[in-house]
Amino acid sequence: MDTISIRQKVVDANKHISSVLGLTLADCVTASLKIYMKLYKAGAVRVRGQRLFDRDCDAKYGGKPRYHYWVENKGMVFEEHGGVQCICDKIGFYRMRQIENVEYAPYVCFFQDELPENKELWYMFNDMSENQIKYLIEVYIRKSEK
């Protein structure tokens, strides 16, 4: 079996403990936006997909599909959730997490279900300045953390 190159570190011990104990939900959605803002100038893209865990939850609880979010750049995955930061080669990450149903954000760094209901506004997301993107991400994060 091939080895997987992975670097992990706890960046927020309180968040990590809370996540492990099941007291808080994972925060991969907002974390992926923050990582994207750090790496987008280097060509990074925001990605989502379903881990085996997510697919098991879908099957067990039914309803809306669950996704995990991360950022990819130059064959590497940058992920943070539950207070843990992970950097891993893409192939190893997909294999380790058993990733399926992968989607790349089509609107700068957003997916359709993260955009306003008015579809006529969507074209604007592909023609935004850096400051507009940063502001939009900040607003999205503040709204989702309430």
Could you tell me which residues are beta bridge partners of residue 72? 45, 77
The 8 Å CB, 24+ separation contacts for 108-112 are: 108/133, 109/33, 109/36, 109/40, 109/45, 109/46, 109/133, 109/137, 110/46, 110/140, 111/48
Over 80: is that where the pLDDT of 143 sits? no
1 within domain boundaries: no
Looking at the structure of the chain, the number of domains it has is 1
Domain that holds residue 77: 6-111+120-144
Give the highest mean pLDDT range of 12-26, 45-59, 83-97: 83-97
133 within domain boundaries: yes
13 within domain boundaries: yes
Share of the chain above pLDDT 90, in %: 31
Confidence of residue 21 (pLDDT cuts 50, 70, 90): low
80 within domain boundaries: yes
Cα–Cα distance, 83 to 98 (Å, whole number) = 21
Q: Are 114 and 140 in contact (CB under 8 A)?
A: yes
Q: How many CA atoms lie within 13 A of 56 on its CB side?
A: 6
Give the residue-averaged pLDDT of 32-54.
Answer: 91
10 within domain boundaries: yes
27 within domain boundaries: yes
For the stretch 54-90, pLDDT in tens is 777 766 777 777 889 999 999 999 999 888 899 999 9
